[in-house]
Structure 1
Amino acid sequence: MSGERGTSRDVELADLREAAPKERADAARNRAKILDVAARLFARHGVADVSMDQIAGEAGVGKGTLFRRFGDKAGLASALLGAREEDLQGAILGGPPPLGPGVPAGERLIAFVTAYAHFLEANLDLVRLSETASPGARYRTGAYRFWRLHVRILLAEARPDLDADLFAHALLAPLAADLRHATRDEFAAERFAENVARLAGLVLTGS
């Protein structure tokens, strides 16, 4: 099967995408300003070296407002990641193949793990903060549930003999931000992406 647009699996994936809460126009502008400031400060100084006090001061809002809106720095990181994750999810649901529909499931799986490896590299500090905010935080995020469902659906189609539920977790395990952070000095970005794709290929071929 080639995975055409509009299939039930695409509907299932689309349902997992987290819709942005409706906000008043002024609240939405204020939120966008805070996220823009946070993005600039994180890019300039690194996520670990930027405090919520700095973000609040630069954005011209009270620290209490910042915490009420985002909870903590991990919540702010998750909010920043949201739009970037939506871009990748949109490409999966309706973009050109092989990431999007229109090619066999195995090709889409390899395209996805490669694309996510590059996404992780570009957003590593934010993803790591989001995934390690508390024990098991990675698995509770809507984004992880989306990635896992996508991988599970593709695996079930390409390798119906495998336990797709378990193998989906297994293929996503090397893409954990904490693991990538620990191996960043040892494995360059391209080597990392290529070998994650190779691992997916081994699962698909069974050899």
Structure 2
Amino acid sequence: MSTGDGLVGLSVTDSAPTERGDAARNRALLLTAARRLIDEHGADTVTMDDVAAAAGVGKGTLFRRFGSRAGLMIVLLDEAEKAEQQAFMFGPPPLGPGVPPLERLLAYGHERLRFAWDHRVLLSDANSDPQTRFNPPATLHRTHVRMLLEAAGTTGDLDAQTDALLALLDADYVTHQVDDLGRSLQQQGDAWESLARKLCGT
């Protein structure tokens, strides 16, 4: 699928399978309970036991639905992730198509940094499981950054450069920078932009 500026191959991820009947209702019930608990108590304090109890189901049912706490976190992040994906693939510039690839890359870095901070607890939980860390949304983000680097004329190992840029946007890393080192999101964004510009030869 085209992103509107000649970059081809991306499509918005959809990690939730189509469901119907009781299965769909139970899934909605569990997600509603999880969101309510997170809003009331914070994502870092909510356990699978809490979610199951709030939804009125057994913990085994919850694990069968989502596999793990990380799996539940990924589903909760799904709506926000899809909105961000729509923005950087099809939305207005500079995040979306219509400007040079370097401008889009810089806009992406600042936006993803904010997203990582706003959703840091859920992202950290989702990334804690090796089976879910490299999920379809993560793969989509990696593909997007690599394509923009290539379109900007970046030379060298694009895979390594992509991984280096994305490492600076990892939720745990961003949280460490803010909480432990006192580096603001603006400072981190400036550092990310500096690296991106150097990789693109500007």
TM-score in same-fold range (> 0.5): yes
Deviation of the 1:101 alpha carbon: 0.8
Q: Give the aligned partner of residue 29 of structure 1.
A: 25
User: Does structure 2 retain, via aligned residues, the 8 Å contact 1:156–1:162?
Assistant: no
Change in CA separation of 1:117 and 1:180 when aligned onto 2, cut-off 3 Å? same
The reply on whether 1:193 has 2:189 as its aligned counterpart is: yes
Identify, as 1 or 2, the structure richer in helix: 1
Moved over 4 A (4+): none
Q: Secondary structure at the match of 2:142?
A: helix
**Number of equivalenced pairs:** 199
Q: Secondary structure at the match of 2:10?
A: helix
Deviation of the 1:183 alpha carbon: 1.8
Counterpart pick for 2:88 among 78, 86, 92: 92
Deviation of the 1:20 alpha carbon: 2.8
Q: Give the aligned partner of residue 13 of structure 1.
A: 10
Once the two structures are superposed, what CA deviation does each residue of 1:8-33 show, in whole Å capped at 9, x if it has no partner? x34x111x723531100443333223
Find the aligned partners of 2:40 and 2:193 in 1 and give their Cα distance.
31
Give 1:189's aligned amino acid. L
The alignment yields a C-alpha RMSD, in angstroms, of 2.1
Deviation of the 1:36 alpha carbon: 2.3
Q: Give the aligned partner of residue 181 of structure 1.
A: 175
Deviation of the 1:47 alpha carbon: 2.3
RCO comparison, higher one (Cα < 8 Å, 6+): 1
Change in CA separation of 1:4 and 1:43 when aligned onto 2, cut-off 3 Å? closer
Counterpart pick for 1:113 among 69, 87, 109: 109
Deviation of the 1:94 alpha carbon: 1.0
Find the aligned partners of 2:128 and 2:37 in 1 and give their Cα distance.
21
Q: What TM-score comes out, normalization by structure 2 length?
A: 0.88
Change in CA separation of 1:37 and 1:194 when aligned onto 2, cut-off 3 Å? farther
Q: Percent identity?
A: 40
Q: What TM-score comes out, normalization by structure 1 length?
A: 0.86
Q: Give the aligned partner of residue 171 of structure 1.
A: 165
Counterpart pick for 1:62 among 58, 65, 71: 58
